[in-house]
Amino acid sequence: MKLAWHFSKVNPRFKNREATQGEFFANDTELRAFVREAVQNSLDARCPGRTGPVCVRIFVSGPKSALSLETAKRYFKGGWDHFHAEGSGLRDAPDRAETCQFITYEDSNTTGLTGDIDQYHEVAGVKNPFYYFFRAEGQSNKTESGRGRWGLGKFVFPRCSRIRSFFAVTVRHDDQRRLLVGQSILRSHNIEDRSYTPDGWFGRKPDKDQAAAPVEDQEFITRFAEDFCLERGRDPGLSIVVPFCDLRWTPAEIVDTVVQDYFYPILNEDLVVTIEDADTQTVLNARTLDAVVNECPDGIRESITPLLQLTQWALQQYAASRDPRHDAAPAHTDDQLTVLSSFAGQATKWNRKAIDDNLFHRLRNMLQTAGRIAVRIPILLQYMDGISQRTHFDAFIERAEGSPQKRPMFIRDGIVISDVRCRLMRDVYAIVTVDDAPLTGFLGDAENPAHTEWSEETSHFKGKYVNGAATLRFVRNAVSDLCQMLAEAADDDDPELLLDVFSIGTGHAGQGMPVEFSSMTTKGNTAAKERLKMLRQTPRKRKTFRLSSREGGFRIGSRSDANDPRQPIEVMVGYDRRGGSPLRKYSVTDFQLDQSPIRIEARNVRIEIREPNQLLVFPECDEFSVVVTGFDLNRDLFLQARNLPEEQNPINHPAESQCCVAGDVVI
């Protein structure tokens, strides 16, 4: 049987359409899009009735396991003219004489691509994964419980190949058939004045007006599996081979990607991933994940480790609460998971009044004392057809002073939705898990094809729900709002909040002396009078800078009469408030000094921004200036500025001078 690549000539009756669907995944690297989409498909294809995790194997050939030129001939026959054709869209097409390095992806404990292999159009009510994977674009048969919606994720596979092609071997769990399919998605191209469509198939040349058939020659498939280092035997599942993949891909990069995007199902024992090449093998499961993360680059290790620890604690809460993820409408509060039953999911936005006082104080005390809280937030979904469903999502929050995480991490059905736009938070780590079917369906409808964000403007979402946009905003912002409410409540009750006001400083070295209010009004209290006299006689240290206002900001400039004009300066900034400390209640949602619209103009100084509202000024000449503008003109700006020795840590010392810039008033 002659097997080769076949492309169809352009039919003059139809428009030419170029495949641009891969651009939906352009925000991610090709490797990350490949891993995210492949694992998501495997989790959706879990074999019914089987226990245990979905197992995935990713193999990187590198030069050691690459196909030789002789071996590669049988798999690319008939394709090279098309790969090198004018207009094919390939900018880095390999030469015929180049050895074929590849990457393989295999899953097990899954169904494989079942369905009628001769179906060539969508049939209502018929579930046919084979058809939807190979013969459909923009169509998907996944239900509301599935992770995908768009039918576009498969485009990541050819997108990762320098010849925009891939092979797939599937063993189907229902009939045990083993099939091989090769598919290529180029652009419309010309060969010797003949125009061809973008789509190519590997196999027998199809008869006129017939769909290309998969390869069922078992001897050929067995040889293919050996050449491409597949471990697929007769176990049901799917194996993907991407030939001529990016030569820079390494097992270590794949490990980093899997760790960041799929740590949750791995810890939950829903997924096991093995990554290997000719010399190494790394197994990612619930027992090995911590050790593997410790070997990751510093940036990944430092960002993921706190989330791993929080996830492990979250899974313990689920287990201790008898797996309440599957209880759609609980109405109780226990020691593991606090259910906001008083809220009841009736509204699409909330504030402090929406939560029962006793419950709120309990949450705040738990966060202050134990450092962590687990919360279930009910929500009501209303469909345009009049049906309503109660559902929920869970949040796990941990106090962490100076945490680099500014937004909660959202995990829907085990997938990290990495770019959800929501309000910012600070000094906490937070994970939001969505596992309840009605809400996973709601969010899946709002999800983009790359599974990175939610939008109320998607075609699957728009017009399907009553108050859908408001409900989606609530899901996005509820945890950030809760963190803000808990933080403000803690600030209001802070017993040290007013120490700077109700104490008298004695300099850097001495300890502040409390003021006795009764002594201030008692004429006969000699000790108090002597204490105040001593403080009045203490010479006040002169600052080395001048602080003045500018429209929408402030200026720090040098003083001509300063003894040490190059002494470093620390400035803390916040918007003034009617109640509470402006600096304690600063939020990154107010402004960040290193981000637009804030502008900093500096002359003869070196500046550092160690916190979003902290500015350090290091004068390099006796005359210097720093102008900071871009603040909200409708809000009063609160400044706290002081000199400090260079060796001092500015965060650990109280302020010595304060001023408030109100509008255009010059201090």
- The pLDDT tens digits of the residues spanning 39-55 come to 998 998 999 888 899 99
Contact predicate 344/370, CB 8 Å: no
Amino acid at 578: R
Please state, in angstroms and rounded to a whole number, the distance separating the CA atoms of residues 194 and 188.
11
**The pLDDT value given to residue 658:** 43
More confident site: 530 or 659 = 530
**The pLDDT value given to residue 536:** 53
In degrees, to the nearest 5, what angle opens at C-alpha 114 toward C-alphas 108 and 115? 175
Q: Which long-range contacts (CB under 8 A, 24 or more apart) does 325-330 make?
A: 325/394, 325/433, 325/435, 325/436, 326/435, 326/436, 328/389, 328/390, 328/391, 328/392, 328/436, 328/438, 329/378, 329/390, 329/392, 330/376, 330/392
Contact predicate 135/96, CB 8 Å: no
**The pLDDT value given to residue 87:** 85
pLDDT band with cut points at 50, 70 and 90 for residue 521? very low
Average pLDDT over residues 513-539: 51
The helix or strand, by DSSP H or E, that contains position 292, with its residue range, turns out to be helix 289-294
Please state, in angstroms and rounded to a whole number, the distance separating the CA atoms of residues 318 and 308.
15
C-alpha separations of 256 from 67, 251, 294 in Å = 26, 9, 11
DSSP string, 334-364: -SS-EE-TTTTT--S---GGGS-HHHHHHHH
More confident site: 124 or 380 = 380
pLDDT band with cut points at 50, 70 and 90 for residue 254? very high
**The pLDDT value given to residue 17:** 66
560-603 residue pLDDT tens = 777 788 899 999 999 887 667 888 888 888 899 999 899 999 99
- The answer to whether the bond into 214 is cis (omega within 30° of 0) is no
**The pLDDT value given to residue 23:** 45
**The pLDDT value given to residue 25:** 37
Instruction: Find the range with the poorest average confidence among 168-182, 372-386, 518-532.
Output: 518-532
Cβ contacts of residue 115 below 8 Å, gap of 6+?
Answer: 126, 127, 128, 129, 130, 131
Count of C-beta atoms within a 10 Å radius of residue 57:
22
Contact predicate 408/432, CB 8 Å: yes
Instruction: State both tokens at 236.
Output: 């049901």
- Reduced to 3 states, what is the DSSP secondary structure of residue 219? helix
In degrees, to the nearest 5, what angle opens at C-alpha 106 toward C-alphas 311 and 50? 65
Cβ contacts of residue 399 below 8 Å, gap of 6+?
Answer: 367, 368, 371, 372, 427, 428
**The pLDDT value given to residue 656:** 40
- Residue 534: pLDDT above 80? no
Give the strand pairing for 605-611 and 637-643: unpaired
Instruction: State both tokens at 157.
Output: 């596979």
- Residue 479: pLDDT above 90? yes
Give the strand pairing for 428-434 and 388-399: antiparallel
Per-range mean pLDDT, top range of 27-36, 205-214, 548-557: 548-557
Tell me the percentage of the chain whose pLDDT exceeds 90: 45
Nearest one of 157, 183, 176 to 233, comparing CA atoms: 176
pLDDT band with cut points at 50, 70 and 90 for residue 531? low
Please state, in angstroms and rounded to a whole number, the distance separating the CA atoms of residues 237 and 173.
7
pLDDT band with cut points at 50, 70 and 90 for residue 495? very low
**The pLDDT value given to residue 386:** 86
More confident site: 389 or 328 = 389
Contact predicate 620/606, CB 8 Å: yes
**The pLDDT value given to residue 539:** 56
pLDDT band with cut points at 50, 70 and 90 for residue 260? very high
**The pLDDT value given to residue 331:** 37
Average pLDDT over residues 266-286: 96
**CB-neighbour burial class of residue 637 (10 A; exposed 0-12, middle 13-18, buried 19+):** buried
Please state, in angstroms and rounded to a whole number, the distance separating the CA atoms of residues 54 and 42.
7
Nearest one of 43, 180, 178 to 107, comparing CA atoms: 43
Residues in the chain: 667
344-363 residue pLDDT tens = 555 566 777 778 888 888 99
**The pLDDT value given to residue 150:** 37
Domains of the chain: 4-10+18-249 (no CATH), 327-489 (no CATH), 503-537 (no CATH), 545-661 (2.60.40)
